[in-house]
Amino acid sequence: MITQAKKQINDDYQIEIKKIVEKRRQKNQYTKEDKFQEQFLQQKELKLQKYVEFIEVSIPKSIQLNNSFRLKSNVQIPRNANNQYKLGQLNIDFYCYNYKINRIDRHGNITTVTFDPIQKSLTPFENIIHILSRGNQYLRSSIEKLHYKKLDSSQFFVLKEQDLFNFENMIDKPCTGYISKQRFMNDLYLNSIGINYEMVIHHAMETGYLPIPLYFSENYQSLQHLSNFFILNTFNQCINNMQGCNYNGQYFPVKIEFHNYYFYNQNEKCYYEYLFFIYDIDKKWISRKKVEENYLDYFNLKKDKVQETYEYYNSEQRCGYRNI
């Protein structure tokens, strides 16, 4: 289902880009080449490079990662959101700091979001290593392994398309993940964090952000969670002691099973990366009634949809009045 949805989205995209948009030239239009935009972008690029050289200056010693980075390996550095763009008490997907939402599709019980990369200068990996080493060597080692693995195709776990179909059909738990420049979420995953697909789509369209249930604070235990997150993304394995958060701000233990596969596209001569995060959550944290309450809260609706205005007629008056 997930791979089929991706193929359909890509087919739609190929159809759209082949359409020709004709713009009639105005009679008095100047044809002299204007290089202002090119020069402006070049100057902006030079400024960004200067910022990258001194990027560690703006980061406090507590490793509170308030800056977004773009690495050649496309490893995303987790950070905590503390702004008005959060969906309830959920954190913001850190992919959204390097990618912008292009379109949202719905196939069966799968919500698929397609991204476009935000043009940013690449951050030297040495800068990231220097920053994260302030936490502990274990944290540094975990991100190093992940970074170099994603740059080495000999370490890719390559599957055929049919094998990917078979794997996806076996998933019967809350699951989210990424395929190239797309993120997918099944309904079980959304319900497990207290929301539904309507809330996600509306929030994404309004803010440009997607939610995740993971937070990484500054204490030692959360540094361990951050290390576990990098390790989780490096090997196909399970992490038992992760901590999740739902729409209402409740924290709960979660076991996350991670799968990282690659598919080689013969036509495009490139690899597509498949990341699957399968959540194992105690059922006591999953409540359809709570999701409905959060839905009403998010859209600012009355809890009782049946509650309607009614008319009361006084026999001594010619017309009645309405109680609301």
Band (pLDDT 50/70/90 cuts) for residue 223 is low
Highest mean pLDDT among 56-60, 77-81, 129-133, 245-249: 245-249
Q: Is residue 202 part of a domain?
A: yes
What is the C-alpha separation between 162 and 226, in angstroms, rounded? 33
The neighbouring-strand residues paired with 317 are none
Q: Which residue has the higher pLDDT, 144 or 323?
A: 144
Neighbours of 312 (CB within 10 A): 8
What is the C-alpha separation between 161 and 248, in angstroms, rounded? 39
Q: Which residue has the higher pLDDT, 282 or 150?
A: 282
Q: Is residue 94 part of a domain?
A: yes
Band (pLDDT 50/70/90 cuts) for residue 66 is very low
Nearest partner of 136 among 225, 76, 58, judged by Cα: 225
Q: Which residue has the higher pLDDT, 238 or 35?
A: 238
Is the pLDDT at 321 greater than 70? The verdict is no
User: In this predicted structure, what is the pLDDT of residue 126?
Assistant: 79
User: In this predicted structure, what is the pLDDT of residue 245?
Assistant: 92
SS3 content of the chain, % helix, strand, coil (to 5): 35, 25, 40
Cβ-in-10-Å burial (0-12, 13-18, 19+) of 53 comes to: exposed
pTM of the model: 0.71
pLDDT above 70 as % of the chain? 64
Is the pLDDT at 311 greater than 50? The verdict is no
- H or E element, residue 116: strand 110-117
Band (pLDDT 50/70/90 cuts) for residue 312 is very low
Band (pLDDT 50/70/90 cuts) for residue 204 is very high
Q: Is residue 2 part of a domain?
A: no
What domain count does the chain have?
Answer: 1
Q: Is residue 287 part of a domain?
A: yes
For the chain, the average pLDDT equals: 75
User: In this predicted structure, what is the pLDDT of residue 35?
Assistant: 67
Domain extent, residue 165, equals 51-323
User: In this predicted structure, what is the pLDDT of residue 18?
Assistant: 72
User: In this predicted structure, what is the pLDDT of residue 6?
Assistant: 75
For residues 16-44, give the mean pLDDT: 63
Is the pLDDT at 320 greater than 60? The verdict is no
Q: Is residue 180 part of a domain?
A: yes
What is the C-alpha separation between 160 and 274, in angstroms, rounded? 12
User: In this predicted structure, what is the pLDDT of residue 273?
Assistant: 87
- Do the beta carbons of residue 105 and residue 260 sit within 8 Å? no
Is the pLDDT at 265 greater than 80? The verdict is yes
For residues 200-223, give the mean pLDDT: 78
What is the C-alpha separation between 2 and 183, in angstroms, rounded? 10
- Do the beta carbons of residue 99 and residue 118 sit within 8 Å? yes
Q: Is residue 183 part of a domain?
A: yes
Q: Is residue 26 part of a domain?
A: no
User: In this predicted structure, what is the pLDDT of residue 64?
Assistant: 42
For residues 282-287, give the mean pLDDT: 90
Strand pairing class (110-117; 182-186): antiparallel
Is the pLDDT at 229 greater than 50? The verdict is yes
Alpha carbon distances (Å) from 133 to 48, 51, 63, 144, 236: 24, 21, 9, 11, 25
User: In this predicted structure, what is the pLDDT of residue 56?
Assistant: 30
Q: Which residue has the higher pLDDT, 264 or 180?
A: 264
Q: Is residue 21 part of a domain?
A: no
Is the pLDDT at 173 greater than 60? The verdict is yes
Would you say the C-alpha torsion 37, 39, 44, 49 has a positive or negative sign? positive
Is the pLDDT at 90 greater than 90? The verdict is yes
